């Protein structure tokens, strides 16, 4: 995430400088937007990905820095007796922010698409920066296992089945189905811990059999 923000910052700044040097009267929004992205990238902590913890009481066995559930971005914590999802950001808020800054960029750059794109990308960077700050706060206050407003907690005693798929977890609990999408490669690291904790409630999606020629 931090790397993405820095790349966005460098690209947008370069585009802004190119516009300024073209003497077209544009670039006065894009260049500062690029600098803001670079500053956000520097200030955003490095993503921790999937963290495997010790089998200690009240501590998560696995901590996943990014999980998508419905219209929100969450941090997933797997404990000995429950799953906890802490909300980091809302995809709706991110979309509104990106669209708003896109329109602002269009306005200040005289309708230029580059200005709009620089604004939209800055909206994405702001969302990632705020999400990382939320992760840092959760770690600092040790609240990964505390479900508050907007969070979700599911005890293993309420879970009927957890089906592990290629890039998601399908949690069936009390008659409801919750799909948790994870970034590429995350599921493989989570699987062994879930299997040992859930035992007969754990299920992997069958691998499709290819027809032999």
Q: Residue 55 has what pLDDT?
A: 61
Q: Quickly list DSSP for 52-112.
A: E--S-TTS-SEEEEEEEETTEEEEEEE-SSEEEEEEEEEHHHHHHHHHHHHHHHHHHTTT-
Continuous segment of H or E residues that includes residue 153: strand 152-155
Q: How crowded is residue 23: how many other Cβ atoms within 10 Å of its Cβ? A: 8
pLDDT tens digits, residue range 92-143?
Answer: 888 888 899 889 888 887 767 888 899 999 998 998 999 999 999 999 998 9
Q: Would you say how long the chain is, in residues?
A: 213
Q: What percent of the chain has pLDDT over 70?
A: 94
Q: Residue 49 has what pLDDT?
A: 87
Q: What is the mean pLDDT of the chain?
A: 87
State yes or no: pLDDT of 23 exceeds 90.
Answer: no
Q: How far apart are CA 129 and CA 131, in angstroms?
A: 5
Cβ atoms of 31 and 45 within 8 Å: the answer is no
Q: How far apart are CA 23 and CA 9, in angstroms?
A: 22
* Helix and strand totals (H; E) in the chain: 5, 9
> For residue 18, which phi and psi values (nearest 5 degrees)?
-60, -40
State yes or no: pLDDT of 212 exceeds 60.
Answer: no
List the one residue out of 67, 83, 79, 201 whose CA is nearest residue 152.
Answer: 83
The domain limits of the chain are: 2-204
Q: Residue 213 has what pLDDT?
A: 39
CA-based end-to-end distance of the chain: 43
Q: Tell me the pLDDT band of 83, cut-offs 50, 70 and 90.
A: very high
């Amino acid at each position: 995430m931090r790397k993405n923000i820095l790349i966005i910052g460098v690209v947008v700044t370069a585009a802004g400088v190119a516009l300024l040097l073209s003497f077209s009267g544009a670039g006065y929004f894009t260049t500062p937007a690029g600098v803001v992205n670079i500053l956000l990238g520097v200030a955003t902590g490095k993503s921790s990905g999937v963290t495997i913890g010790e089998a200690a009481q009240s501590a998560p066995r696995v901590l996943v820095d990014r999980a998508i559930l419905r219209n929100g971005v969450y941090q997933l914590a797997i404990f000995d007796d429950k799953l906890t999802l802490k909300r980091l950001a809302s995809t709706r808020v991110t979309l509104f922010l990106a669209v708003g800054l896109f329109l602002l960029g269009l306005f200040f750059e005289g309708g230029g698409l580059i200005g709009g794109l620089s604004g939209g990308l800055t909206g994405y960077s702001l969302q990632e920066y705020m999400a990382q700050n939320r992760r840092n706060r959760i770690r600092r206050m040790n609240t990964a296992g505390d479900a508050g407003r907007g969070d979700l907690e599911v005890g293993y005693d309420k879970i009927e089945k957890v089906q592990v798929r290629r890039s998601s977890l399908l949690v069936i609990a009390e008659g409801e189905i919750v799909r948790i999408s994870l970034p590429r490669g995350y599921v493989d690291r989570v699987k062994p811990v879930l299997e040992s904790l859930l035992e007969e409630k754990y299920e992997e999606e069958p691998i499709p059999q290819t027809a032999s020629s």
